[in-house]
Structure 1
Amino acid sequence: MLISFDWLKQLIAINKPATEVAALLTDSGLEVEGLETFEVIKGGLQGIVIGEVLTCEKHPDADKLRITTVNIGLEQPKQIVCGAANVAAGQKVVVATENAVLYPSGGESFQIKKSKIRGAVSEGMICAEDEIGIGTSHAGIIVLDTDLPNGTPAAEYFGLSSDTVFEIGLTPNRADAASHYGVARELQALTDAKVALPDVSVFNLSNTNRNIAIEIQDAAGCPRYAGLTISGVKVGESPEWLRNRLRAIGLSPINNVVDVTNYVLHELGQPLHAFDADKIAGNKIVVKRADEGAAFVTLDGVERKLRSTDLMICNADEPMVIAGVFGGKKSGVSEETVNIFLESAYFNPTSIRKSSQVHGLKTDSSFRFERGTDPNIVPYALKRAALLIQEVAGGEISSEITDVYPEPVQPFQISLSLSRVDKLIGQAIGRERIIEILTDLNIEIKEETETHLVLLVPPHKVDVTREADVIEEVLRIYGYNNIALKENIATSFLAKFPQPNPEELKQKISNLLTGSGFSEIITNSLTDSAYYEKGAEDKDETLARIVNYNSEELDVMRKTLVFSGLEVIRRNVNRKQKDLKLYELGKVYAKAGEKYKEQQKLALFVTGNTAAETWSQKSEKTTFHYLAGVVQNVLTKLARTDFTLQPLQHPYLSGGVNYQKNDVVLAQVGLLDAQVCKRIDVKEQVWYAELNWDYLVKNSKSQLVFEELAKFPEVRRDLSLVIDKGITFDQIKTIAQRTERKLLQDINVFDVYEGDKIEAGKKAYAISFTLLDKQQTLTDKVIDATMNRLMQQFEKQLGAVIRK
């Protein structure tokens, strides 16, 4: 919402700079998100002054140029070369001085610089209307009839002034502040200044030649509707002051009648609508609900299908306006309009909100009506608008104000406990100060006792309906910054830390895996005990057996997700689908003594190639590292990066690792044993990962940790280590992190070599180390010392040979 400071000062005599007013409003809850300067003419004629032509002579090298000397209020006159035919000595002219930026009408801006024109020095420019943006004429320079002294800013002569515009982030509950009057009321409570609305006492009836009746058929949707007629108006362009007021708050002027309705809307917060009175059939306004499915063409030329919930403003024959939202094409004011009917109403916010949403129409009127306007300002807004229309468009008021208001909207009656005010605010602010604030907010004190106040809150404060709301109003105006913080802060309520949501985590990981090319499978929890038992003598006592099973192939609860996943792979491979990436999140079951337990596991299966073969990419067989990378992505997504890699321990896997945190296994990755696959008749190589989902969900770290970007550059150094084949990268990483805790940011293997160029039983790792000091730029001395310490530890603890 945009608020003009100059406009605001017409409603409240506030003697404070714009920045201070912005701070006051922000502290009270009307957050000023920005301050902008509005200029009637772009640039505000900065650097352009009034001057006097002292001499004017023909340019020796150009017939159409004149060399002038101009007094612009300085000790020495300026020499200016001018091409205008009407320039002459003795004239008062408009001069653009050096470095001034001009914004010509319909052209691009340019800067005035000292230059030479045909060999003659020119120290400025004598301007025409179009060159400074105040008109379109280029017939010659502007010649002024003025006694103002030379050097006077041209903006002063033309009566140009700038305005400061507040951009306020209006919250939905502050409908009372959706206007200049609303903001002025807020400032009245924040300062000693008082609000004074424009005087409408001169409002006077000229005749009653054009009475238009009003009938409200839906009083629930329209509790109040008022109107009057003005005859003999002349629709045309608005005066400059009115156009500039609207431009300052981002509106485009349309015509003098519509501009007045927009002006009053933004001044008072009361939307108005001007009808062409000659198009109101039967001289009657009817407020009623629309017929379901009826066609209606709005002002933008779009035909819309009405709903039975739409409140309409109709004449005796047909609808004219979607009440409070948008006018109809046949009802609007045009250049041919001579007589107008001016509407001012109060509509039910819910009704307007529904129509606005259904038809996708968001207007300045609906914005206010759907949040709640002031029913008591309806007749004043009519008078204010009628007087302004007479001022800018002429005409006579040709009817009484017809005000249909069958059941007046009552103020909210609220009992306020003074002790409750002190308790919620956190300190005593005094009875007198509370009453003063309430009075400044136009909240009437109906009754007063030692402990309580009975208040009447005006209906324009739609968000103040309870005692707590009143206390919030008092606190806003008193000032949050004026509440002292105690040395020891205590609370009667301590919020629990949010527990991880299993469903949200499941969805997050499912999205990750699906995005990585995996397909989700859901398999039966019942399975065949033969998968677990090699023979009759080899009974697994930990199986959860079904007592009354219907099928011998479904006689136990599954103990692992391995076999049901292999069944899916077998079925797909038999149908020529050999490149598979599958995942399942399911429960496994086991018997422990006389009791049974269940656990949630996440299983990943990968077989065949990692991707289909294309012209630009060869297909590659799935490897351990591919699946391990997927598992680490899952753990990272769950914020579990605090693991170590340990030797694999799994009854069905080989050639893999355990991801562990202390003694807890987070995940296991490896190659499914060929004999296990053979039980399901799967001949393909299958890589398998199993994650401890219950533990991961319970211990998921949902909070994000943010860190300022480093101000100093990272440094990378590489080492080539020859080590025993049995040494893992995790061992190297652990040693490096223990040796250098401060500077080491990352460590990575970028090449591995095993071959005849190194001795048997050895392998070579090419490793990169990323170093960073967050306090200063790393020097070569510090880097070399760090790398030497790392090499010493690799040699000492791993028997590594450093290759140069």
Structure 2
Amino acid sequence: MKVSLNWLKQYVTVNESKEEVSDILTNIGLEVEGMDIFENIKGSLAGLVIGEVLTCQKHPDADKLSITTVNIGAETPLQIVCGAPNAPQALGKKVVVATVGTILYTEDGGSFKIKKGKIRGEESLGMICAEDEIGLGNSHEGIMILEDEKAVVGIPAADYFSDRVVCDVIYEIGLTPNRSDATGHLGTAFDLAAALKTNYDGQGEFTQPDVSNFSIDNNNLKIEVSVENQDACPRYAGICIEGVTIQDSPTWMQNHLKAIGVEPKNNVVDITNYVLHELGQPLHAFDYDQIKGKKVVVKNLAEKTKFTTLDEVERTLSAEDLMICDGNGDGMCIAGVFGGIQSGVKDSTTNIFLESAFFNAISIRRSSMRHLLRTDAATRFEKGVDPNGTLYALKRAALLIKEYAGGRIASEVIDFYPTPVERAQVTVSFEKVTDLIGADIPKEDIKKILGYLDMNILEETAEAFTIDVPTNKVDVTRDADVIEEILRIYGYNKVETPTTVSSVLSFAPKPNPFKVRNLIADLLTSSGFNEMMATSMTRSDYYKKHLPQDEDSLVYVNNTSNQHLDLMRPSMLFSGLETIVHNQNRQNQDLKLYEFGKTYFKKVIDGEGNRDYFEQQHISLFLTGQRNSENWHQKENKVNFYTLKAYVEHIMTRLGILPSSVQCTPIKEDDAVLTYGLKYHRGKQNIVSFGRLDGNIALGMGIKQEVFYADFDFDTILQVLKNHKMKYQAMSKYPAVRRDLALVLDKSVGYNEVLGIAVKTGGKQLKTSNLFDVYENEAQIGANKKSCSVSFIFQDDNKTLKDKDIDKVMSKLIATYEKKLNALIRK
């Protein structure tokens, strides 16, 4: 929310600097996230002064130039060469002078600096300005000549033109959802005044606009109001105004609106916007003559009713959208969100119906999100406006319209308010104030702060007090809320830090999930991966089109912020694919990505079919494109299954889970996600599944190159590591010995079977084994056969191995391979 300091000063006396005001606002819960300067005239006439032309004579070398001397209040007059045709007429009169060093700005956004120089041989120490040269108009017919008494020699031009020059400080406030009382400048000023009175020696006198002279001029315009949905509209007020003239709003109002980023439209629309940002109460002006039947009906229309809004977009309404309709039942406005194209104020409008209402916050937010209309009105209503402030805002706007649009109030005030909202009453003990704040605030100070916040003390004892809470503070319902209000005005920084600190011992779980995550993240990042962070919500469309799931297991959400993200993700897959698509659309084809995240699902918890919600931690890896970046000395080398397998096994090995120590199973051919791949597991506990992503899924997401995907079950990893002990041992001082075997095997035999036998048979002296060649030739080794060349590395930690020791193990390996795998040993 943007807040103007000049605007605040209309309601509260502020002597502090803009930086101090920023600190005060932040300290009272209105956090200032940014601070900008608004200027309606670039530069705000800095460096320009009022001067008097003492002499004026023709330039000896130029017919169109004049040499002037100008008094600007300095010790000596300035000689300025001027090219304006009306320079002689300025003799003895006041002008606007840009002194040396002044920066002037051009219409196209450029700038130039006034410098000391010579023009046709004559010294010139400044510039006498025309109105277009300093942003005060469009005329360039000659220099500005000032003839009124306000023009005093030597005063800054900004002071002389103070009614036309605006320089304002704009605060960007990160307004939290609970601060419904500060959605306008008046509410912000009210809080600021309370803080100033409390902490700045009684400063901060607060005033608010007076509407006591509001009166009905006549009853020429008749209007009837009917509220059919009273739950969505607890209060609806309105009034008719006749004889308005649509024109530009006054300059001061336009400047206020421009300062906070609101573009002026016309006087009536600007007044409704001005009051919205002043009081936090949205208003809407209808063209009275376009209201059919001269009746306003607040109701819901049928599902899929078409309605064209002010932006000329035809929208399809939901039956839950609250609408402001005319006597024929036709929609005129999406209540509290956006107006319709037919009933809005136009240049030809002469009579208006002005609306001020209190709508249900949930109803407005859902409509706003449903139609993606994040208007200023909607954001106010969804935070909760003051139900007892609607009439005040209505009268404020009506008086402004009378003043600046020439209208007359032509009906009684209509106010539908069947169940008035009363001020809540809360009882607070003085002891609890001290306990929660951690400081002993004097009772008199507490009562003063409550008074500054318009919280009236209804009853007081030595131990406690009862106050009533203004209806614009919808979040203040408990004693803790009242204490928070006291503290933020009293000042968080005034509460002293305790001199003693109490602590308790805490023990991290084993294994520590945070450390395990960091270990994996560091490993992957150092290997060239980038971490991604996706939202836990996804599109249900993905699982209907690409990866069908059991509907009963899916966790749907009613996401009013983004209706497309309607499902808590049951898989990490599509988050990564969306990231790949995003990068490939930006010419980034070669990707190595990983993500830590959770999946969500429902599963049966008893024999009666009842389901409960569960979540599971995962680590996902994605590879696509080239393994290495493009370079001149290396051929293209695309990532493949074995690239991914190496990273997967690297992670497992770093965690101490050796691939050889767990089961390895090929991915089934009918797997819905992977075309081919492997799964490492311990019985039914899946550690990781990885392989080539199904091409139909990739193409369905718009990815035209191969994607390799790994999905680690992080919960299983933590379970495996729970009883895992990291062991360290010295490197062997004795040499290693390598032996090779060429095994002729059936094609159906996998290397994991070869490795498994080696691990079980080779004993402690067998350190590693590796498949280094696969050869197939039906003529030489037979049909459906393959030759696998495997290396074995032997080493003893305590002695140098002899050939007979190694031959003994190799003979045992050969015999086992021949027996279990029906292997033929090639010699």
TM-score (norm 2): 0.65
1:81-92 equivalences under 5 Å are 81-88=81-88, 89-92=91-94
1 CA distance for matches of 2:791 and 2:306? 65
Match of 1:185 in 2: 190
Match of 2:480 in 1: 468
2 CA distance for matches of 1:326 and 1:641? 64
Match of 1:126 in 2: 128
Q: Is the 8 A contact 1:434 1:474 kept in 2?
A: yes
2 CA distance for matches of 1:452 and 1:681? 91
* 1:137–1:477 CA distance, 2 compared to 1 (3 A): same
What stretches of structure 1 move > 4 A for 4+ residues in a row?
491-499, 501-510, 513-522, 558-565, 580-583, 598-606, 640-654, 672-675, 684-688
Match of 2:413 among 401, 404, 407: 401
CA deviation map 1:636-687 (0-9, x unaligned): xx9x999889579999669x99xxxxxxxxxx97514999x99x97645689
Match of 1:257 among 263, 268, 275: 268
* 1:646–1:327 CA distance, 2 compared to 1 (3 A): farther
1 CA distance for matches of 2:271 and 2:369? 27
Match of 2:295 in 1: 284
CA deviation map 1:333-353 (0-9, x unaligned): 111111111111100000000
Match of 2:382 in 1: 370
Q: Is the 8 A contact 2:218 2:410 kept in 1?
A: yes
1:416-455 equivalences under 5 Å are 416-455=428-467
Q: What is the DSSP-based 3-state SS (H/G/I as helix, E as strand, rest coil) of the residue aligned with 1:463? A: coil
CA deviation map 1:402-429 (0-9, x unaligned): 1110111222333323322222222332
Residue correspondences, number: 595
* 1:116–1:503 CA distance, 2 compared to 1 (3 A): closer
1 CA distance for matches of 2:146 and 2:318? 61
Equivalent AA in structure 2 for residue 326 of structure 1 = F
Match of 2:179 in 1: 174
* 1:496–1:335 CA distance, 2 compared to 1 (3 A): farther
Q: Is the 8 A contact 2:53 2:69 kept in 1?
A: yes
Deviation at 1:149, TM superposition (A): 2.9
Q: What is the DSSP-based 3-state SS (H/G/I as helix, E as strand, rest coil) of the residue aligned with 1:334? A: coil
Match of 1:671 in 2: 770
* 1:201–1:274 CA distance, 2 compared to 1 (3 A): same
Q: What is the DSSP-based 3-state SS (H/G/I as helix, E as strand, rest coil) of the residue aligned with 1:312? A: strand
1:231-380 equivalences under 5 Å are 231-317=242-328, 318-380=330-392
* 1:117–1:681 CA distance, 2 compared to 1 (3 A): same
Query: In the alignment, is residue 153 of structure 1 matched against residue 166 of structure 2?
Result: no
1 CA distance for matches of 2:24 and 2:659? 68
Query: In the alignment, is residue 204 of structure 1 matched against residue 215 of structure 2?
Result: yes
Deviation at 1:306, TM superposition (A): 0.4
Segments of structure 1 that go 5 or more residues without pairing to the other structure are: 523-557, 573-579, 589-597, 607-633, 658-667, 689-725, 727-804
1:55-94 equivalences under 5 Å are 55-88=55-88, 89-94=91-96
Match of 2:101 among 96, 99, 102: 99
Segments of structure 2 that go 5 or more residues without pairing to the other structure are: 198-203, 521-593, 597-617, 628-638, 645-657, 693-716, 738-751, 760-766, 796-827
CA deviation map 1:34-77 (0-9, x unaligned): 33232231101011111122222222222222222222222222
2 CA distance for matches of 1:489 and 1:80? 71
Q: Is the 8 A contact 2:25 2:192 kept in 1?
A: yes
2 CA distance for matches of 1:13 and 1:118? 53
Equivalent AA in structure 1 for residue 85 of structure 2 = A
2 CA distance for matches of 1:643 and 1:150? 88
2 CA distance for matches of 1:387 and 1:644? 88
Match of 1:162 among 148, 156, 167: 167
Q: Is the 8 A contact 2:667 2:678 kept in 1?
A: no
Q: Is the 8 A contact 1:226 1:404 kept in 2?
A: yes
CA deviation map 1:587-613 (0-9, x unaligned): 15xxxxxxxxx987669999xxxxxxx
Q: What is the DSSP-based 3-state SS (H/G/I as helix, E as strand, rest coil) of the residue aligned with 2:64? A: coil
Match of 1:709 in 2: none
Deviation at 1:2, TM superposition (A): 1.5
* 1:115–1:227 CA distance, 2 compared to 1 (3 A): same
Q: Is the 8 A contact 1:38 1:163 kept in 2?
A: yes
Match of 1:4 in 2: 4
Equivalent AA in structure 1 for residue 770 of structure 2 = L
2 CA distance for matches of 1:581 and 1:646? 38
Q: Is the 8 A contact 2:664 2:679 kept in 1?
A: no
2 CA distance for matches of 1:687 and 1:340? 92
Deviates more, 1:60-69 or 1:208-217: 60-69
Q: Is the 8 A contact 1:105 1:135 kept in 2?
A: no
Match of 1:230 in 2: 241
Match of 1:624 in 2: none
Q: Is the 8 A contact 1:105 1:136 kept in 2?
A: no
Match of 2:40 in 1: 40
Match of 2:513 in 1: 500
Q: Is the 8 A contact 2:11 2:189 kept in 1?
A: yes
* 1:373–1:496 CA distance, 2 compared to 1 (3 A): farther
* 1:235–1:279 CA distance, 2 compared to 1 (3 A): same
Q: CA RMSD in A?
A: 4.1
Q: What is the DSSP-based 3-state SS (H/G/I as helix, E as strand, rest coil) of the residue aligned with 1:263? A: helix
Equivalent AA in structure 1 for residue 228 of structure 2 = Q
Equivalent AA in structure 1 for residue 131 of structure 2 = E
Equivalent AA in structure 2 for residue 511 of structure 1 = S
1 CA distance for matches of 2:470 and 2:295? 32
1 CA distance for matches of 2:97 and 2:791? 84
Equivalent AA in structure 1 for residue 342 of structure 2 = K
Deviation at 1:138, TM superposition (A): 0.9
1:463-612 equivalences under 5 Å are 463-490=475-502, 499-500=512-513, 508=596, 511-512=620-621, 514=623, 517=639, 519=641, 564-565=664-665, 583-587=678-682
* 1:474–1:521 CA distance, 2 compared to 1 (3 A): same
